[in-house]
Amino acid sequence: MTDDASDEGADAMLSEPWTFHFPYTRTTGPVVGRFLLGLRERRIFGLRMEDGGVLVPPHSHDPRTSRELTEWVEVGTAGEVTSWTWIPEPSPQHPLDRPFGYGLVVLDGATTGMFHVIDTDGDEARMKTGMRVKVRWARRLKGHITDIASFVPVDAPEPDYEPEPVELEEPPTAARWRYDNPFSTDYTILAGEALSHHLRGLAEGRFVGMRGPSGDVLIPPDGADPFTGEAVTEAVELPDTGTVVRYCVVNIPVRGQQVEVPFVAADILLDGADSTFMAMIQGIPPRDVRLGLRVRVVWAEEAERTTGFESVKWFEPTGEPDRDLGELEEYL
C-alpha cells in the first residue's frame, strides 16, 4: 500500500468519502429457495451428489460434474467443525459484536461443509477442529441464511426464546423466493489533479478547463489528452458563455432532477473550449431551442456552490445572434 503522504500530487486533489449502497433483491430459484424456506421451519435440506455424498447448502448442480441434482435429503441440525478461523476484533459489519469463529460445519448426514458463524461466547480456547456444534436458530425465522444465527457447542444451553417464523402475506413458494441483499461499501474517491482544478473553479463560479499536449482545451478534464494519452497540465480559465451544439427535449422526470418537464438537455461548447458537456437549458421554451443558440451559465447562489456539478444550475440564452453553423460543423 502506498502511503498517502508520499503519493505525488495527492495534496492538489480533492477527495471525498463515498458509500456505495443499493438494496439489491436476490432471486433464489427453486433449489436455494427450498433450502431457505426449510430454515424457516428449522429443517435443513441438501441434495444427493453424483458421488453419493450430500451437498449442504444445496445448488442445482453437482459441484464437480456440473450435472443437475434432484434427490433431496434432510440432514441433521448438528455436526462437526472441519476447519475454522478466529475473528478476535469484529467490525461493525460482522454478525456478532464479540470475538467469534468462522468455520466449515459438516452437518450429520451431509458430506460438504457449510460456512457459518461459530459462537463460543468469545472463547477461542473452545474452538477445535472436530468439535461438535448445533444450530442456534434466530429468534425470527425469515427464510434467509441468517435464520441460522450461529453454530454453538453441542452442550451450550438453549436460548431463552422460542424461534418463530415471520408471517408472510401469502404462502411462500420455493421457486419464486426472493430476499433483500443490501449492498454497501465505503470508498474514498479521488478526483484527480486535473478534475480538481475544474471542480474548485465551479465552487468559485468559474469555468476552468485544461489544455492538453494536442492544444485542445478540455472541460471537464479527466486528466489525460484523449488523443495522445499524455497528462493535461495547463489550467485555462474559460468564459461563462457558449453555444448549443446538440440537444434533446426531456419529457419524463429524471431521478434527482429539480426542474419540471419538459426541459431541454444540451451539449454545450463553451467559448474557448474544444470538448462539450451536457447541461440543462432554461429561460426559453423548449421548442425554440436550436443548434447554434448562444447561452450563458446561471451559477447556483454562492452559499450553495460546491466543488461539484450542482454549482451549475443551467444555461440561459444570452440574446446574441446564433453562431453560424458552418463554424461549428466539426461538432454537429
Partner 1 sequence: MSGQRAAVIGIGQTQLARRLHMSIAEMTRQAARRALDDAGMDWSDIDAVVLGKTPDIFDGHLFPEHFLADALGAVGKPLLRIHTAGSVGGHTAIQAAHLVQAGLFEKVLTVAYAKESEGDINWAVSGGGLPFYSPLVAGPGGYFAPHIRAYMRRSGAPDHIGVKIAYKDRRNAALNPYAHNPDPTITYERIAQSPMLWEPIRYLEACPSSDGACAMVIVSDAHADRGALPPAWILGTACRSEPSTAPRRDTINPVGGREASRAACAQAGITDPQREIDCAEMYVPFSWYEAMWMENMGLADEGYGWRRVEAGDHEIGGAMPINMSGGLMSGNATGATGMIRFAEAAMQVRGQAGEHQVDGAKRALGHAFGGASSYFAVWVVGSERP
Residue ranges in contact with partner 1 by CB under 8 A: 14, 16, 18, 20, 22, 24-32, 59-67, 175-176, 178, 181, 183, 189, 191, 195, 199, 216, 218, 220, 222, 226-227, 246-252, 254-257, 262, 265-267, 274-275, 277-280, 291, 307-309, 330-332
Is the CB of 183 or the CB of 326 nearer to partner 1? 183
Task: Give dist(CA 58, CA 145) in Å, integer.
Answer: 12
Q: How far is the CB of 234 from partner 1 (least distance, A)?
A: 15
Q: Is the peptide bond before 172 cis (omega within 30 degrees of 0)?
A: no
Q: How far is the CB of 23 from partner 1 (least distance, A)?
A: 9
Q: How far is the CB of 42 from partner 1 (least distance, A)?
A: 23
Is the CB of 14 or the CB of 135 nearer to partner 1? 14
Q: How far is the CB of 8 from partner 1 (least distance, A)?
A: 20
Secondary structure letter of residue 144 according to DSSP? S
Cell readout for 45 is 435440506
Write out the H or E segment, with its range, that includes residue 33: helix 29-40
Task: Give dist(CA 63, CA 69) in Å, integer.
Answer: 10
Is the CB of 43 or the CB of 176 nearer to partner 1? 176
Cell readout for 286 is 423548449
Q: How far is the CB of 78 from partner 1 (least distance, A)?
A: 27
Output the 3-class SS for 85-116: EEECCCCCCCCCCCCEEEEEEEECCCCCCEEE
Is the CB of 61 or the CB of 142 nearer to partner 1? 61
Q: How far is the CB of 210 from partner 1 (least distance, A)?
A: 12
Q: Cβ distance 235 to 197 under 8 Å?
A: yes
Kindly give the pairing relationship between strand 44-48 and strand 54-55. Answer: antiparallel
Task: Give dist(CA 129, CA 97) in Å, integer.
Answer: 23
Secondary structure letter of residue 293 according to DSSP? -
Cell readout for 77 is 441440525
Is the CB of 99 or the CB of 113 nearer to partner 1? 113
Q: How far is the CB of 104 from partner 1 (least distance, A)?
A: 17
Is the CB of 100 or the CB of 314 nearer to partner 1? 314
Is the CB of 33 or the CB of 103 nearer to partner 1? 33
**Residues shown for the chain:** 332
Task: Give dist(CA 245, CA 88) in Å, integer.
Answer: 60
Q: Cβ distance 250 to 263 under 8 Å?
A: yes
Write out the H or E segment, with its range, that includes residue 165: strand 164-165
What's the gap between Cα 201 and its chain centre? 29
Q: How far is the CB of 33 from partner 1 (least distance, A)?
A: 8
Is the CB of 27 or the CB of 85 nearer to partner 1? 27
